Structures are given as C-alpha cells and as structure tokens.
Amino acid sequence: MSWQPNTNSADVSQLSTEEQQIVELVARWVDHEVRPVVSQLEHTNTYPEALIEQMKQMGVFGLAIPEPYGHSAVSARCYAQVTEEISRGWMSLAGAFGGHSVVSKLLLRFGTDEQKRRYLPRLATGELRATMALTEPDGGSDLQAMRTVAAAVGDGYVINGSKTWITNARMSGLVALLCKTDPSAEPRHRGVSILLVEQGSAGFSVSRDLPKLGYKGVESCELNFDDCRVPADALLGGAERHGFVQMMAGLETGRIQVAGRAIGVARAAFDDALRYAQDRHTFGKPIWQHQSVGNLLADMATQITAAQQLNYHAADCVDSGRRADMEAGMAKLFCSEMAAKVTLDAIRIHGGHGYSTEFDVERYYRDAPLMIVGEGTNEVLRNVIVKQAIGRNGLT
C-alpha cells in the first residue's frame, strides 16, 4: 500500500463513508490490477483496454454525474483523491477520464434538458466517452486566438478548423468543441461557443497520433473539421457566445484533476524512493541515513503533503459552490511543479538505476512535465492567479 502523510487520514474522514469506500476500492485496484502490468503497457505504448473496462465497471467515468443520469457522483474532494490513486498506478489512466469528467460537468451545468437526457446516462456508464477540444496548432493556451469557426447555415453549423493535443480523440464518441461562432466579436472571447460534435459527423476526422515523451497508452491526436456539419441542437445550452465562460468553469474541475494526477505521480515516486533508500546500503548503512538522501526524502514528503492540502482546498471551494478558478489554478500550478521536482529527486536517490527503464521512476519523470503544460500552461495560470488576487482585493 502507498505511503500516506499523517494528515491524510483526517482528510479522508471528511469524506462520506461511501466515498471513503470508493477511494479504498480504487487504491486496492491500483495495487492489484494496475501496478503489475503498467510497465509493459507503458513501454509498448499499448492502449489499456482491459483496465479501462474495469474503470467503467467501478463507475469511474460517472464520478461527476449525479442522479437521475448517473449513480456514483462524488464530491470534488473525493474526485481529487480517486484521481490521485489512479495516477499513483499510471497517470495515463487518469487522463482517460479527465476530459470526460469536464464534458460531463459542462453538460450538467450548461446543457439543455434534451442534451442532458441524450448524453449523460451513457457518459455515466462509460458506454459513451467524451473529450474536449480547445488547443490549436498555432494558438496553444491563447484560446481567444483560435481559428476554428462554426458558421450558422440553415438549421445547423458548418465547422472549419483544426485542434491538436486532444486526449482520447479516437476513443471518444463526443467532442466538446470550443470554436468561434462570431469571429468579429469584441472582445474576442464573446464570440466563442461550444458545439457538441459526435464522432462520425460528416467532415470531422481524427488524423495522426502525436508522439510523446510520456503519457503513453492513451492517444493524443489532431482533429480536422472540413465543412463539418452539425445540427443546431449541438450548441451547448442552446445559446451562442457563452462558450469561453462555460469552458473556464469546466476547467476548474479539469485543473483539480490535473493537480490530483501530479500528486499521484509524486506519491508513486516517493514510495519507490523511500523503499529503495531503505534497501540500498552504502558505507555500511541504508542510504536514507546519509543526510543528503534523507533531506531529499524529507522535502519530498513535505511537498506532497502541502500539495494535497492545496488541492483539497480547491476541491472544497467547488463543493461549497464558491468560485474556485484561482484556487484550482494555484493547485494545478503548485502540484505540477512539485511533481517535476519530486520525480527528479526520486531519480537522484536511485542513482544510476533511476535512469534505467527497469525502474518505474524514469516513467514518473517522463509523465510529470505533462501536468506543467497541460490544462493551461503554468505561465498562463500565473497570469490568472495574479489577476484574481488583484480583483478579489478590490484593486484595479
């Protein structure tokens, strides 16, 4: 079982009994089903179909969907802890339901009654999987500069443009597409809408899988929209020009999830480093007793604990209905930077073995950078945080 900071038991006790059982179930599944097979799957870049099916059976894809559409909706804090546990086993598996959960939240909060009835029950079981499409080849985190345009034609829209770095693009049957329905709007974000594009729509194609440093197993692809036609009822909420605000609200959940991924990867790296530091002996004693190694381990444990508390705070803001864009941004920023440092320190503790693909710490090190650049780069998030800090204090 994974190492846990002493404060974690108090955090778990804040969950309902059912939520505690969910987290414990996922943790056992990770130890018994994921960790024994992850190395082979990751190094061969194999899609983890069997593990995804098990996640469906456990209700992971419905964690953000309440009744009457689903049966296993949980608090944001529980969702963050489930993400941690899955990422402790393999971060790619958390990616398999990250965007899916954001789309589920978008439908719950902004979807029409008909859109909710059409999609949410199947999203809850994982029968239908979803992803979001924001990033463009030339835009990166500058979402307002997007070039994908949807023109109103007849009783629907015709979409032209492209997206890139879209996780689960091949396996998802539904794409929440951020696009411009009013390219001339000022300010630019007021011309943005979200269209729900189903796989198989005429003019919509998934092109190449992008090669990646880490984040193996799940696909990240380019999407092309060439006179792609969708009906008018594909517009999220039935009203144009609200897409930017809608997606920013959805990204609160997304950033808490990415922060949870970072914590899970860091926990796995610490577990391995702590075990290795007890087993490995030099100069007549276990290496953790050497001050340089012991200091690394102490800092790693402290940073992981701080990251957990920051992410749980952001989750608690969401659960209480408070605005959480700054808090979720802080959590994602701190947790991702923490994971990059902790995974590198785990390699240092392993020495030469840490550079070998026979040890898992090299995988953690390759996976960690995704959380720095994904779901909004940390450079952009710093801008979000400082603007919110000034705005909330009544300054201009």
DSSP of 76-111: HHHHHHHHHHHHHH-HHHHHHHHHHHHHHHHHHHH-
Calpha distance 160→227 (Å, rounded): 5
Q: What is the pTM of this model?
A: 0.94
pLDDT band at 9 (very low <50, low <70, confident <90, very high): very low
| Residue 114 CB partners (closer than 8 Å, separation 6+) | 233
Mean pLDDT over 255-284 rounds to: 97
Q: Which amino acid is at 93?
A: L
Fold classification of 245-392 (topology level) = Butyryl-CoA Dehydrogenase, subunit A; domain 3 (1.20.140)
Under 8 Å between Cβ of 331 and 259: yes
Q: In terms of C-beta distances under 8 Å and separation of at least 24 residues, what long-range contacts does 314-322 make, across chains too?
A: 314/76, 314/252, 314/255, 314/256, 314/259, 315/75, 315/76, 315/77, 315/79, 315/80, 315/256, 316/76, 316/77, 318/76, 318/252, 318/253, 318/256, 319/75, 319/76, 319/77
The three-state secondary structure class of 154 is coil
Evaluate the CA torsion angle 296, 212, 334, 35 in order and state its sign. negative
CA atoms of 123 and 356, how far apart (whole Å): 39
CA nearest neighbour of 85 among 308, 353, 318, 369:
308
Q: Does the structure show a pLDDT above 70 at 164?
A: yes
Q: Cα–Cα distance between 237 and 336 in angstroms, integer?
A: 33
Average pLDDT on 144-155 reads 93
What's the pLDDT tens digit per position in 326-355? 999 999 999 999 999 999 999 999 999 999
CATH number (3.50.50.60, 3.40.190.10, 3.40.50.720, 1.10.540.10) of 8-129 reads: 1.10.540.10
Residue 264 pLDDT level (bands cut at 50, 70, 90): very high
Better-scored residue on pLDDT, 179 or 6: 179
Phi and psi based region of residue 161 (left: phi greater than 0; alpha: psi -120 to 50; beta: remaining) = left
Q: How many residues does the chain have?
A: 396
Whole-angstrom Cα distance, residue 48 to residue 365? Answer: 20
pLDDT score of 12: 59
| pLDDT number for residue 13 | 57
Residue 2: per-residue pLDDT = 52
3 pLDDT tier (thresholds 50, 70, 90): very low
Under 8 Å between Cβ of 194 and 236: yes
Encode pLDDT of 276-309 as tens digits: 999 999 999 999 999 999 999 999 999 999 999 9
Which positions ≥6 away from 270 have C-beta within 8 Å? 3, 297, 300, 301, 304, 342, 346
| pLDDT at residue 250 greater than cutoff 60 | yes
Identity of the amino acid at 92: S
Contact indicator for 273, 350 with CB cutoff of 8 Å: yes
Which residues are known to be catalytic?
375
Comparing CA positions, the residue from 158, 110, 100, 164 lying closest to residue 135 is 164
Strands 149-153 and 204-209 turn out to be unpaired
Would you say residue 1 has pLDDT above 60?
A: no
Q: Would strands 281-282 and 285-286 be described as parallel, antiparallel, or unpaired? A: antiparallel
pLDDT at 144: 77
Query: Which class in CATH covers the domain with range 131-241?
Result: mainly beta
Report which DSSP code applies to 235.
B
Residue 7 pLDDT level (bands cut at 50, 70, 90): very low
Closest to 165 measured CA to CA, from 142, 140, 148, 144: 140
- Alpha-carbon distance of 237 to 249, in angstroms, equals 14
Domain boundaries, the chain: 8-129, 131-241, 245-392
